[in-house]
Structure 1
Amino acid sequence: MKRFSIGYRTLKTAIGATISIGLAEYFGLDFFTSAGILTILSIQTTKKQSLHEVYTRLLASIIGMIMAFLFFEGVGYHPIVLGCMILLYLPILVMLNIIPAFVSSVVIILHIFHTGDFTIALLKNELSLMLIGFGTGLALNIYMPDIKHRLEQYLIRIEELYTAIFVEIEKYLRNGDTSWDGKELLEAVEVLNQAKSLAFQDVENHLTRRENLYYMYFDIREQQFEIIERVLPKITDLPVIVEQAELVADFLADMSQNINSAGNTANKYREKLEVVKAEFAKLPLPTTHENFLAMASLYQFIEEMDLYLAIKKDFKGISPSRKHFKKKSNAEN
């Protein structure tokens, strides 16, 4: 059973319904409780979603009122006429890709059907309900809680996990340690998914800003993680630990302690990889088939790490506050 909690969206929904119903009743509108329904439907998790919902529901309601006038006034206020109207109305909403707006628009349509007389007064009443209902929802959705602190927490955790993963690879290359259970890999997948979802929510809450550095950062880390998953089997299945493994281990030891988002030193570490390649060339050629396979795997690992770094070479970096976190090195890879 989940823990009982009241989130900000729940709180806004309750407050919004109360305000809109109170306003509709204060202005003496018929069906005033429907204003609360319209408010509840317009409160979404992000500002962009809320604007989109209000737009689509307003459009659907206007189309619904026009069709209600044509059908009810032209044919009659009868359940069969209502059914025929909905039979045509739904495909129109599907065609316009606004089918989620059906529920709120039906509220307005049923008001007209219940009244049995499409008058100017009724039209003003329904438009007023929409103004109060949708307007209250939009007004409340102007406020969205600051999620930067949570994004920073995810950022720090990703860096910690990547550091731990590279340290484990380094340990294996130095002494063949196979005690690692790989739990950091599973957690990294979960953290990346949650982080990207939260960062996208932040994008949706800024109506004019299209770029989000946190989303870009987590997307880059996700691409890098795909490389990590791809190269791990090549390293962990080495038939023997050859002399070249120490060179790769030294590189990973350096890189693992310099994973950070405050700057960008990808090119610096790509240059270090070139040095590792040069050192490879100076070492004796393999004398056995197993040694040859091990050297080939290590060299392929180096090439993949070059790609790992290249993915991030153009990223300008993030400078989070990190007030509540332990500081690491100012370098980044």
Structure 2
Amino acid sequence: MFKIGYRTIKTAIGAPIAIFIAQLLQLDYAISAAVITMLCIQTTRRASYLKAWSRFYSFLIGVTIGGLVFEFIGYSPLTFSLTLLLFIPLAVKLKATEGIITSTVIILHIYNAGALTVGLFINEVILLSIGITIGIVLNLYMPSLTDDLVTIRKEIENNFSRILHEVARFIETGDHSWSGEELAETAQLLEKAQELANKDVENHLLRTRHPYIDYFHMREKQFEILERMLPFITHLNATDNQYKYIAKLFEDLSKNVHPGDTSIQYLERLRTIRQRFNKEELPVSREEFERQANLYILLNEIEQYLTLKRSIKSFK
């Protein structure tokens, strides 16, 4: 069963309303009001306002170039082509690309009329105003992304828990059966999460930051650390009892992946582990030296992982 998105619903509502108003005002090319409305319905409120200005700006550029070319050179397919060759690069240079299609439609109206008159100019301004206004009004409603953000946050946290659990299991037993699929999935989820959080910011005109942006950025950095840890962990000897307390730390971390801050207690445990590690006898072989070096690097990575969590305020 196919799903109808909210932008489709807005388009289905706004387009006929635009035509109705344009016909009520007895405007020429009334159907174009629907096209403009469809182009003005954006994914966020902020995008609607910014692109509305871009369309007006582009409209003035297009009408000016089209009017001058047509009036001084003539109305023909070649002059229409020349108009586009001048208009489109200039619109791009002046950062008014969002209005290129809308303005091209209006240029075609001028071409079809065979003359740029005051009446035609006013007609096009009203058409543009109708389309932009209806698009902005419809974009005042934007579905809340809070539930989506909470859902994806929980999915990321569940994956973190699984990864940490599998790390603990490997250190303790040397079991290599984990497929690691959570790694690829988490990378995709983090990318999607940042997109959703940024989109939610764009839907609030007075909001410049979002708590979830910082939270997902923190998880992204922690995920990078987890990925860096894995090669060092594979070099630990699972049969050596001295690594059991490291496995216990990872297992406990896996049970406490949530928005709250429990990093202080784990940093204290890490400090105790370091003290224990420093009291151990010096390695007598190259293999033991490499294992202890890997463990030392691993402890530093865990510390960075926990320190990142402290930088984010707890929230629900």
TM-score (norm 1): 0.90
SS of residue matched to 2:281: coil
Which segment drifts farther, 52-61 or 137-146?
52-61
Shift of 1:240: 5.4
| 2:74 equivalent in structure 1 | 76
Report what 2:298 is aligned to.
301
Q: How does 1:312-323 map to 2 (within 5 A)?
A: 312-319=309-316
Alignment of 1:196-211 (within 5 A): 196-211=194-209
The residue type paired with residue 276 of structure 1 is I
Q: Which residue of 1 aligns with 2:85?
A: 87
In the alignment, what sits opposite 1:190? 188
Between 1:7-16 and 1:242-251, the stretch displaced more is: 242-251
Equivalences for 1:283-302 in 2 at 5 Å? Answer: 283-302=280-299
Matched, 1:256 2:254: yes
**Cα distance, 1:239 vs. partner?**
4.7
Shift, 1:148, TM fit:
0.4
2:130 is equivalent to residue 132 of structure 1: yes
- 1:49-198 matches, within 5 Å, as 49-198=47-196
State the 1:216 CA deviation: 1.4
> After the TM superposition, which of the residue ranges 204-213 and 185-194 deviates more from structure 2?
185-194
The answer to whether the aligner puts 1:37 opposite 2:29 as a matched pair is no
| Per-residue Cα deviation, 1:36-63 (whole angstroms, up to 9, x for no partner) | 1101111111112222222211111111
Q: Deviation at 1:35?
A: 0.4
Q: Does the CA contact (< 8 Å) of 1:238 and 1:293 recur in 2?
A: no
- 2:95 maps to a residue whose letter is N
The equivalent of 1:277 in structure 2 is 274
1:88-146 per-position Cα deviation (integer Å, ceiling 9, x unaligned): 11221121122342111011111111112222211111011001011111111111001
Letter in 1 for 2:160: Y
Q: Structure 1 regions of 5+ residues with no counterpart? A: 320-333
How far apart are residue 268 of structure 1 and its match?
Answer: 3.3
1:266 is displaced (CA, Å) by: 2.6
Residue of structure 1 equivalent to 2:16? 18
Q: Which amino acid aligns with 1:212?
A: H
Secondary structure of 2:60's aligned partner: helix
1:311 aligns with 2:308: yes
AA of the residue aligned to 1:284: E
Give TM-score scaled by structure 2 length: 0.94
Quick one: distance in 2 between partners of 1:160 and 1:28? 59
Q: Deviations over 1:288-322 (max 9, x none)?
A: 33222222211211101111122232211221xxx
Cα separation, 2, equivalents of 1:240 and 1:38: 66
1:236: Cα distance to partner? 1.7
| Preserved contact between residue 241 and residue 294 of structure 1 (Cα < 8 Å) | no
Amino acid paired to 1:133: G
Deviations 1:52-84 (A, max 9, x none): 222211111111112222222333323332222
Structure number with higher helix proportion: 2
C-alpha deviation, 1:222, in angstroms: 0.9
**Paired residues of 1:167 and 1:256 also in contact (CA < 8 A):** yes
Give the conservation status (yes or no) of the 8 Å contact 2:171–2:237.
no
Percent of aligned pairs sharing the same letter: 40
How far apart in 1 are the matches of 2:278 and 2:227? 27
Q: Which amino acid aligns with 1:257?
A: K
Structure 2: stretches of 5+ with no match in the other structure: none
1:237, CA displacement in angstroms?
A: 2.9
